[in-house]
A and B are shown apart, each in its own frame.
Chain A
Amino acid sequence: MTHTHGTGAGRTAGPVAGGAEGSERHPEIDWVAAERSPEFRELIRRKKAFVIPATVFFLAWYFGFIILAGYAPDFMGETFITDGLTVGYALALTQFVMVWALGWLYLRKADRVFDPLAHDAAREAVHAERTATRRFDRDTGSTTATARGQDAAPADREVTNP
């Protein structure tokens, strides 16, 4: 466990009370442990397995098109299937299809795979925190203010000044 950080940065965030802003709702979470949890690792693994190949593919398809447009204008100007339609225009239309198809695939994947995993990872982190806080002083909650102290201030205002 690594709840050994000081309040750092010298920000006086005041008592972290949580609030409508929501950013302080889990001040005691052990983020290092959460990052190492099997649920989170699985989420990242599955996400990378989709996003990295998809990104490489769309960049390759797009830059292939752009490079052809730049360096092979005559090829792009050739007739494709029927007079009036050029290879360049047909390839440009495939870019539109690619964007919609990849977008739709990503959304489907996110709904079916990433979201449940993210939910598990978050639940696991909160669960771990509940067991951990019994062993640590509540003051450790203020450590989260180190990284984003400014968030604590408006959240605090929100509560004291509704």
Chain B
Amino acid sequence: MTWLIADVNTTALAVFAVVVGVTLVVTYFASKRVSTATDFWAAGRGLTGPQNGFAIAGDYMSAASFLGIAGLIFLFGFDGFLYSVGFLVAFLTVLFLLAERMRNSGKYTIADVLAFRLNERPARGAAALGTLSVVAFYLIAQMVGAGVLIEGLVGIDFWLSVVLTGAFMVIYIVAGGMLATSWVQIIKAFLLMTAAVVMTIWVLAKIGGNPLDLFRDARSKSAEGDAYLKPGLFLASPLDTVSLGLGLVLGTAGLPHILMRFFTVPNAKAARSSVMWAMVLIGAFYVMTTALGFGARAILGQGGEEAAGTTGNFALPLLADELGGDFFLAIIAGVAFATILAVVAGLVISASGAVAHDVWSNIVRHGRDSEKEEVWVAKLAAIGIGAIAIAIAMIGGEGLNVSFMVGLAFAVAASANFPALLLALTWRRFNTAGAITGVLFGTISSVALVIISPTVWPGPDSEGGALGWYDLANPGIISIPLGFIGCWLGTMLSRERVTDRSFDELYVRSETGLGAEAGTGLTLTGRSSEREREREPAAV
């Protein structure tokens, strides 16, 4: 990628400034509106379905989707597309099993759902552990990725890129809470979709307009020939492929920053329509990743491989440069920057919920703190988490294995958070001990299996794994069943008796929305229903 670092790219810097400027204006407006805890964590529950759909898309599609998948397709052909498919199908799991139930039964964090019917403090502790583990792995991966990308695309140093990313993310959250974060994500999703559509049309025009030529040209430009359009170049072990698929499809339904988005809409109907919007946007985007990835191969050919880097992350910027020169490259860099900012902001606000709402307010202070204190602690937590993420990304540096961290985040989400949440909502017998053992089993097995996987230990180039017989890079197929077994085992071994009432209450509430949290009427331009809000308590 040395071709890019020659000098600071001033056009790209200007585009970055525009992105940052627009998001800061939105944050300024948001900062004047956000006052209560519901405003801060749930944007007052005032987003519409389409708005939240865009925000989910913006929250979900990281630079790993934009640059990473296009890069994988560029390098390995068909196997890269397997990721796209898994990332999209995952939303059916979210839609059918969790979206509306989260909206109806939760408040600010996924721990609320567990604490609703289980012994509050241990249940919150377990859920906070799951949330913070996922966020930690995912966030560090994003920060390192941000540093590498911005350094490569704009020419400013890695450390400065990391610090700037962390600083803006913290500003959005501390000043504008979830309202600002949501709008940053909406703007980013709009930019990302526009960039993908423009590039796809451009690529198709360049190869002559026939989408099939995309595959034919790509195949002829690849040293692998026919194998380029077949599975197996990147994912050589069949069992590993299945394990990856399982982790992707269930992992999304355990990502705290995605689930938290369902607290920002007024009701279950808006929650499910937001998933549909997100599925349309994300699906359309992932279909376009094939045009971008195969297009990069067809247009750049074998020669681009070295410049694209070992993970292929720079294939798309190279393609942009080839298509539209410096200016278009700068635009794509700006979109990539917006992409990263939106994702890290979503991650950190969900972590701030786990720290302030779950650990501080309910575990440490037993719920006796004021709402003001809770929001204050959340802001301090956001600053603290941002600082820690910046520090780790800088210490770990560019050498940190980013894909391993993302894989770990999905594995913990699928193996710890998803089983506990699903069973809390659907299994009458489930109890506190089950939630704790489930989260522990899921988290520990994911981390342990990733550590002994051949890509991590003994090292990326090793032939076999540390144990010889164990050679899975993706732990899902083992760790997800272990998470469920942990939930079951803990439940069965504990003598704790759950009253029917707490399950019935959660069950009826999650399915009907009776008693679900109401919003505060917050929007970016003001409180839409000031009068309605005042009337609310009197209506009881």
Contact = CB atoms under 8 A, between A and B. Distances in A.
Interface in A57-101: 58-59, 62-63, 65-67, 69-71, 73-74, 76-77, 82-86, 88-89, 92-93, 95-96, 98-100
B272 to A, nearest CB: 6
B386 to A, nearest CB: 25
Given A5-B501, A73-B231, A107-B273, A20 B514 contact: no
B229 A89 contact: yes
Given A34-B508, A70-B235, A103-B92, A23 B500 contact: no
Interface residues of B, number: 91
Interface string B255-289: 00000000000001100110110011001001100
B239 A118 contact: no
A77 B226 contact: yes
A136 interface: no
Interface string B500-539: 1110111111011111111010000000000001001101
Contacts of A98: 89
Contacts of A115: 269
Interface string B355-393: 000000110001110110010000000000000000000
A110 to B, nearest CB: 6
Contact of B230 (A77, A106, A118): A77
Interface of A: 2, 5, 9, 11-12, 17-26, 29, 31-32, 34-35, 40, 43-44, 47, 51, 54-55, 58-59, 62-63, 65-67, 69-71, 73-74, 76-77, 82-86, 88-89, 92-93, 95-96, 98-100, 102-104, 106-107, 110-111, 115, 118-119, 121-122, 125-126, 143-144, 146-151, 153-154, 157-159, 161
Contacts of A118: 268, 511-513
Contact of A147 (B272, B273, B502): B502
25 contacts: A2-B500, A18-B539, A20-B536, A21-B517, A22-B517, A24-B515, A31-B505, A35-B508, A40-B511, A62-B85, A62-B89, A70-B241, A70-B242, A93-B287, A103-B91, A107-B272, A110-B269, A119-B512, A125-B508, A125-B512, A148-B116, A149-B367, A153-B367, A158-B36, A159-B537
Contacts of A150: 112, 115, 120, 361-362, 367
Lowest 3 CB-CB distances: which A-B pairs, in order?
A: A22-B518, A77-B230, A70-B238
Contacts of A84: 212-216, 219, 229
A26 to B, nearest CB: 5
A121 B515 CA distance: 12
Contact of B514 (A29, A58, A69, A76): A29
A58 B92 contact: yes
B96 A54 contact: yes
Nearest to B84: A92
A32 B505 CA distance: 7
Given A29-B505, A89-B81, A150-B362, 14 more contacts: A2-B500, A11-B120, A19-B536, A22-B536, A26-B514, A31-B508, A44-B511, A63-B246, A77-B226, A89-B215, A89-B229, A103-B95, A103-B275, A151-B112
B92 A99 contact: yes
Contact of A151 (B107, B231, B279, B514): B107
Nearest to A50: B96
B78 A70 contact: no
Contact of A17 (B245, B504, B540): B540
A133 B517 CA distance: 23
Contacts of B370: 157, 161
A11 to B, nearest CB: 6
Nearest to A115: B269
Given A54-B96, A147-B501, A150-B367, A18 B507 contact: no
Interface of B: 36-38, 78, 81-82, 84-86, 88-89, 91-93, 95-97, 100, 107, 112, 115-117, 120, 212-216, 219, 226-227, 229-232, 235, 237-242, 244-246, 249, 268-269, 272-273, 275-276, 279-280, 283, 286-287, 290, 361-362, 366-368, 370-371, 374, 499-502, 504-509, 511-518, 520, 533, 536-537, 539-540
A29 B499 CA distance: 16
Contacts of B515: 22-26, 29
Nearest to B521: A20
Most A Cβ at <10 Å: residue of B92, B215, B216, B362? B92
Contacts of B219: 84
A52 to B, nearest CB: 9
Given A31-B504, A73-B230, A20 B245 contact: no
Contact of B85 (A92, A100, A157): A92
Most B Cβ at <10 Å: residue of A17, A85, A143? A85
B268 to A, nearest CB: 8
Most A Cβ at <10 Å: residue of B275, B279, B515? B515
Contacts of A104: 276
A35 B507 contact: yes
A47 B512 CA distance: 12
B88 A99 contact: yes
Contacts of A17: 537, 540
Given A43-B512, A58-B89, A121-B508, A157 B230 contact: no
A138 to B, nearest CB: 12
A23 B533 CA distance: 14
A66 B87 CA distance: 13
